Chains A and B, each alone.
Chain A
């Protein structure tokens, strides 16, 4: 069995430290927002998790294409890792968004384009896991998974564009306008918390993906050993 690389151990420690600092910056350091009050602090983690969530889906689509071209199972492990970690982060984004929306918009959920697209995107990647679960042959599983992440990665932005059309008939323009204003009116300290949040979640994301890839190769080894025993 491979030993855990030193760099990964360092990254583990770094993840914990940056998460701690990001939490401090978001909860204590950043000034309280004038209109929304304390609940606005959820924003720093909301954006951080959303960023790595989307990043992971894009990475997965790229890894999927790379797999289809090279047929190298390492790309497949990378793709699974990216999708798995991102699905969790994206779910956290949605939950944090709901927590924020309840006091800010007075509702847990609204059919705003961003929210709807987020929900559909999450469903695409849940379907991805169901697809993989239904296939026994690892090579075929990897191929189908790659094709589906590619389809999902292209469909999600178009979904966003289409849903934006629907908003024009509903005059409730909350969400996008609000978020933009917020970014515009961020003070210096808020910006520090905001960008550090992005950085912290990127580090955590890389750390988790690395772990997941290692887990993936261990899984493959176990599968091979099982085959050997049964023969």
Chain B
């Protein structure tokens, strides 16, 4: 098989798997699991083949004209370079892991066939986005991912949270997609082609007519998809979906699509200094804000979601300083360790029977019960906090190094202000990242105090000392698969520049020392605070609903989500005085727990005016328009009622009336005929 054939098969296989899964799902349940797992696994193997075949060589470009449109043609084009090949490998591997994990996680779910098919469809769309060389085709994959995300977030549609979250995710990302579409059109109008190679060629030769406008329009779409401020609000709520979905879509791949598009079109953005500054500021606000918010969340998955938002901010920051190699490196390593964190969180939620960190911090022995998740998640959290030997350290240092490079004015065409913004916010975020990673680890695994059975409101308690909860083997096996890149991806740092733009990704001394030092400070401060507050935890029992350990993982998660708000009064936070995040953030905690009121602002700015307008329209429709309609019906009815009174049933009356009428007509006719009446 040639490289092209292999690359075409990569998105095609999961797509066919999805179609077959949807068609056969109900009739042949035995085929559902193979149909979900095997095409994805095959696609993952093929992405590796493509990556090996492509190597760091010049980009492979193949195209066939899809349709002549009359003006700018649309091509089915493949554009495979080092970036595309490596990201495709990430997508393939994570998607395979998630499909395998899901067979255990959703083992009793009646909607598993459609779920698996949608995950396959999503994988196909993401691989299409990665491999395509035509912006229109990319947009198709982009939107298919959006709709898959909508369906998968709403998988537990029996719960109110999931329904609301899926709608919110769809609407907010669409809010970004509309400017994105306009941006693509404007870009094509300026350059005369939808092909990425053609666009980059004309940017390099003659430049664009409206670089800032195009870059900002595209950036809106990227902000929506990659959950950057101000369109980030959908991602924490999207955690209402099943955990494997969060791992695949809302951590490793789909949210990375926005970053990937910017990386692909970086020269377009670099043509406008204003766009780079906007990108840098956006990334800075996102990073710091999400770091603070993550420190105040109680739901373990929401902590990870805000963490994802922040790490995507790092990637966007790297792009804002013009280093797409660093951005994609961080994308890949983040994809690996964040997928691991989410899948591990799924195991933790199942074992603990709750998704609340406050409740977990009052359970002892959780780490003993799930040793696989304990070790892998610990390492993944170290990678997230950028502690040296692990993958996250190398990729984050590459980002910070690029920012420092730009801040020093050494980067050509990049404003120094962007470099400084990214560097300072990046260092600040490193501190926050280490703090919330430490908090998550301490609360989840180092819980002390009252044993689980003594929880005041426990429905079905986890009894300590019993035989360990049987976790599905596949769930733990997958964790170890993702553990490998989390640990070892840093070794690839010297090799990657050959695949990317050739710029070195090795950590520089200044940023390494600074970044690691700051991360250690963050972790240690959190630890000290936790030591201080943990004494409080013993004194303040907190209510929790704990799900029966025999329940399937998905049921445990769904119940945990549905009961969080009733028990703690809020989806995001918990009134736990023993939380170290509360002490660290001080008065900020209240605001950080609700994501700095961004949702409230949107509600006041958009939701309420729209509702008021809807009420007005309803009034106009019901009271004004309908009045005419009702009048048109009522008038003939009244007329009919009046005429009906003449229908007495007495034939002689009819005849009398007939005679009188005939007489009147005859007289009138005579008068008209003789001309006297007119």
| B is a partner of A | no
Give residues in A with beta carbon < 8 Å to B.
Answer: none
